[in-house]
Amino acid sequence: MTRGALLLTFDDFFVPEWAAAREVVRAHGARVTFFVSDLGRLSRPDFSKLRDLAADGHTIGAHGLHHLDAAEEIARVGPEAYVRDEIAPCLAGLRAEGLAPRSFAYPFGGRSPAIDELLARTFTRLRGGYSAPSDGRQLAEDDGYFIPVSELPSRRLLTAAGADNGRDFRPCGNSDAALLAALRRAADRDEALTLYAHAIAEAHENNYITPARVTWLIEQATELGVRCIGFDDLDEIISPS
């Protein structure tokens, strides 16, 4: 019996690294989400790899054309210019490559209820996030990261915790113990837990999660009966009771 859900997401433009870990994810039957930004940095082979990932059943979402903080950019140029210059070209670029993004992840977590309302006109779901609680609590103690599975069909905003375990070639981020406790809570309470990471690599100059941790997270979720799904699966796999 499955209880709870894990939405494992990966951000930015690390398509070669994601594609290199394709078999790691596929071997466990998991579905994940890739939120893509900085389309100008992607090559034709990169877009081909994204199509392969989509064909595997993974979600391809949008993360902004230039990975700009939505709250800061809207304060600077206004909502219409932000959508015109940052969101619309990102969507158009992905769609031109045969991809169909329906979800959006906020770069740097910069958002507000008003921005959520603005972007909900374009996207079915939004993902915010902050790496870890700032008040000393553990991930499993922060209700903001968890949503009852029964409420997922009506929820448009999901808040993610950080799953990276390194940056700039050095270890950092939430511990295995903290992530496992969060997964156990999701299983025990039939809740959805959303996590975000970036490059999948043994080491990287940017934020990264090792292939071993990706495997471990999926294996732990599977052992607990927590299904690993993408953002595009929410309406199809989980329906209101």
| Helix (H) and strand (E) counts in the chain | 10, 13
pLDDT of residue 237: 59
Structure token digits, residue 141: 């103690």
pLDDT less than 50: residues of the chain: 238-241
Helices 176-189, 211-224: axis angle to 10 degrees equals: 30
pLDDT of residue 238: 47
Indicate the pTM of the whole model.
Answer: 0.95
- Strand, coil or helix: 184: helix
Q: Where are the alpha helices (DSSP H) in the chain?
A: 15-20, 22-26, 44-55, 70-77, 79-82, 88-96, 113-119, 176-189, 211-224, 234-237
Q: CB count, 10 Å around CB of 118? A: 18
Which residues contact residue 220 at a Cβ distance below 8 angstroms, ignoring those fewer than 6 apart?
179, 180, 183
Residue ranges covered by each domain of the chain: 5-237
User: Cα–Cα distance between 132 and 41 in angstroms, integer?
Assistant: 29
What is the topology classification, in CATH, of domain 5-237?
A: TIM Barrel (3.20.20)
pLDDT of residue 74: 97
